[in-house]
Chain A
Amino acid sequence: MADTVQGFSNVRRTRFWQRGFFASQTAYVLLALIVLVFAMSLASGNFLSPGNISNIVRNFSFIAIATLGITLVIITGGIDLSVGSTMALSATTTSLTMVGLTAAGFYPFPGSQLILALIAGFGTAAIIGFANGFAIAKLKLSPFVTTLGSLSIVRGLTYVATQGRGTAPTGPDKALFLAITSGQVGGIPVSFLYLVALAVLMWLVLNHTAWGRHVYAIGGNEAAGRLTGVPVDRVKIQVYVLCSLAAGFNGIIISGWLGSAPANLAQAYELTIIAAAVIGGANLAGGVGGAAGAIIGCILIEVIRNGLVLARVDPYWQQTLVGCIIVAAVLVDRFRSLRSG
């Protein structure tokens, strides 16, 4: 291959641990995660019990799909603070549609209410994402301010739509709704199966399609992308729409597991989600990140939370520790890049 053809006199190949996956923050955090899991399993016999593992898997699936979405946005050098609110409004819209259709007696065939409700929920998310993306890509507003605004707007709409009360999915499709959101297939939570499928898809798209390459290029040097013919604005809008869809999907799953969509669903989740993405190696400056990192970041946060509970540590320490890990993860990456120049 390329390597054997190019024998250069003074341009040496960097060692394998200095490039590719091994040189990424994601690899370091994965290593930390493995060490942590090993230490936990020694410290607590319950940690690796099937019940606890299933617990962890379900809990991190709650934020992981949204983390995949926000990772895309972060790779382009943007940010989406409205994911928590989008989760709530999508879940609420889905529930309200089921309630409304039931009240209207509209049920032409089994599953019809569920399909319409999901269309409404995902449609809501897509509209939020499009509005964010349009404002950021076309009107050139700052991603931080734009999505800070939509965080408030969307949460406000959720309260307006529900008068601050929770809404529960009802009607003939309720059992089906619960099955596809909080059910299990062969003992594995379906939310985890969705997560794995979406992560594989995201990996494929990011690494093996021109669109994925354009996402990285925009994060690396947006001006260069424009000059070389990358459709920068279109890709940015698509990325924000996908991020909102992922958040909406995650919100709907949570509402299934809770059995209702409270108006304060996923309040302040955006910070945990951004934290998970950053711990997993997504760089807020843009250009770096991936599906594996997003999931590893989510697992790490959940393992720490779970471990602290098992170790009977005051749960109030949780946030402090997660904060320390965010800083530690970027510090390790900083030292590494200083060393290799």
Chain B
Amino acid sequence: MALLELRNVSKEFGAIRALNDVSFTIKPGEIVGLMGDNGAGKSTLVKIMSGIYQPSGGELLFGGERAHIHSPGEARRLGIETVYQDLALADNLTASANIFLGRELKYGFGPFKLLRHRAMNARAVELFAELKSETRADDLVRQMSGGQRQAVAIARTRLTDARLILMDEPTAAISVRQVAEVLGLIHRLRDAGIAVILISHRMPDVFAVCERVIVMRRGSKVADKPVAGSSPEEVTALITGALEAA
């Protein structure tokens, strides 16, 4: 059964039609690449799935049931976590503070609740070990490398039992070695049975980790096929419009 299904989703901003009858399904544990040029509608699609935008038409089904995702918090409750393009990290806080931001662990004393620093740090250490990332839980994010920041943003999605993780350009601004690290992280997510939608401009990354690729052009889906049956050349042609559809 499909984990997430989009049926004829469209989105309009005033006179601009950003998405045009987009339909696809994501199966549990599947890694799908979402590609397209700037303005093709990738980000709009991600924002609809993560609850920031509401679709103008069409519907979303999550786990076979119709889902209305009104906010990022609601997406999270359903089990959809997002790694945002700018990572959405507070530089002045530690890794573990960022992971638990907005859902801190607390001791309860009536209205006065104190933070459980140790429990949160310990959990963060576990998460980083799971992701095999050399990231210290109590280091400030400001002092971290691009790959470590990425690990913090991904660790945040592992706090609850997410079933689908949306990654918006996770390899856009990091070094070659760190790209390998992030792709390794994606493999480990799949091994844990989590579906990943990877939004990326980088052809090699998509072909390295994804099983299937969805190509968008001018708000419409123009291709949706297994990576094994495609090639970087074909996808490039689809993105630019040299190839109409595949």
A: which residues have CB within 8 A of B?
A: 1-3, 5-6, 8-11, 13-14, 19, 208-210, 213-214, 216-217, 219-221, 223-225, 227-230, 287-288, 341
CB distance from A219 to the nearest CB of B (A): 7
Q: Which residue of A lies closest to B87 (CB)?
A: A224
Q: How large is the interface on B (under 10, 10 to 19, 20 to 34, 35 or more residues)?
A: 35 or more
A-B contact count (CB 8 A): 98
State whether A227 touches B84 (Cβ < 8 A). yes
State whether B102 touches A225 (Cβ < 8 A). yes
State whether A216 touches B90 (Cβ < 8 A). yes
**Other-chain residue from A3, A11, A19, A223 in contact with B135 (beta carbon distance below 8 A):** A11
Q: Which residue of A lies closest to B52 (CB)?
A: A227
State whether A220 touches B91 (Cβ < 8 A). yes
Residues of A within 8 A of B103 (CB): 228-229
State whether A216 touches B121 (Cβ < 8 A). no
Residues of A within 8 A of B112 (CB): 209
B: which residues have CB within 8 A of A?
A: 72-73, 76, 82, 84, 86-93, 97-98, 101-104, 106, 112-115, 117-118, 121-122, 125, 128-129, 134-140, 143, 148, 156
**Other-chain residue from B115, B122, B135, B139 in contact with A210 (beta carbon distance below 8 A):** B115
Q: Which residue of B lies closest to A208 (CB)?
A: B114
Q: Which residue of A lies closest to B143 (CB)?
A: A14
State whether B114 touches A209 (Cβ < 8 A). yes
Bound complex: CA A10 to CA B72 (Å): 35
Q: A8-B134, A11-B136, A14-B143 are in contact. Are A229 and B115 (CB under 8 A)?
A: no
State whether B90 touches A225 (Cβ < 8 A). yes
State whether B93 touches A216 (Cβ < 8 A). yes
State whether B93 touches A217 (Cβ < 8 A). yes
Bound complex: CA A14 to CA B138 (Å): 11
State whether B134 touches A9 (Cβ < 8 A). yes
Q: A10-B134, A213-B104, A230-B101 are in contact. Are A2 and B88 (CB under 8 A)?
A: no
State whether B72 touches A229 (Cβ < 8 A). yes
State whether A227 touches B72 (Cβ < 8 A). yes
Q: A11-B135, A210-B115, A229-B72 are in contact. Are A221 and B89 (CB under 8 A)?
A: yes
**Other-chain residue from B76, B101, B156 in contact with A225 (beta carbon distance below 8 A):** B101
Residues of B within 8 A of A341 (CB): 143
Residues of A within 8 A of B128 (CB): 6
Q: A6-B125, A208-B115, A210-B106 are in contact. Are A227 and B135 (CB under 8 A)?
A: no
Bound complex: CA A13 to CA B102 (Å): 27
Residues of B within 8 A of A8 (CB): 134, 136
Bound complex: CA A126 to CA B102 (Å): 26
State whether B113 touches A209 (Cβ < 8 A). yes
Bound complex: CA A13 to CA B136 (Å): 9
Residues of B within 8 A of A213 (CB): 93, 97, 101, 104, 115
State whether B72 touches A216 (Cβ < 8 A). no
Residues of B within 8 A of A3 (CB): 136
State whether A230 touches B114 (Cβ < 8 A). no
CB distance from A71 to the nearest CB of B (A): 15
Q: A2-B121, A220-B90 are in contact. Are A228 and B101 (CB under 8 A)?
A: yes
Residues of B within 8 A of A288 (CB): 92
A-B contact list, 11 entries, CB within 8 Å = A2-B136, A6-B128, A6-B134, A11-B134, A19-B140, A210-B113, A217-B101, A220-B93, A221-B88, A228-B72, A229-B101
Bound complex: CA A210 to CA B82 (Å): 22
State whether B114 touches A219 (Cβ < 8 A). no
Residues of B within 8 A of A223 (CB): 86, 88
Q: Which residue of B lies closest to A9 (CB)?
A: B134
Please give 14 more A-B residue pairs, beta carbons under 8 A apart, in addition to A227-B82, A228-B72: A3-B136, A11-B134, A216-B90, A220-B90, A220-B93, A223-B88, A224-B89, A224-B101, A225-B90, A228-B102, A228-B103, A229-B76, A229-B101, A287-B91
Bound complex: CA A174 to CA B16 (Å): 68
Q: Which residue of B lies closest to A23 (CB)?
A: B140
**Other-chain residue from A208, A210, A224 in contact with B90 (beta carbon distance below 8 A):** A224
Bound complex: CA A213 to CA B96 (Å): 12
Residues of A within 8 A of B97 (CB): 213, 217
Q: Which residue of B lies closest to A224 (CB)?
A: B88
Residues of B within 8 A of A229 (CB): 72-73, 76, 101-103
State whether A2 touches B125 (Cβ < 8 A). yes
Q: Which residue of B lies closest to A11 (CB)?
A: B134
Residues of B within 8 A of A287 (CB): 90-92
Residues of A within 8 A of B140 (CB): 19
CB distance from B132 to the nearest CB of A (A): 11
Q: Which residue of B lies closest to A287 (CB)?
A: B92
Q: Which residue of A lies closest to B96 (CB)?
A: A2
Residues of A within 8 A of B134 (CB): 6, 8-11
**7 closest pairs, A vs B, by CB?**
A220-B90, A229-B102, A287-B92, A224-B88, A220-B92, A228-B102, A8-B134
CB distance from A31 to the nearest CB of B (A): 22
CB distance from B170 to the nearest CB of A (A): 15
Q: Which residue of B lies closest to A19 (CB)?
A: B140
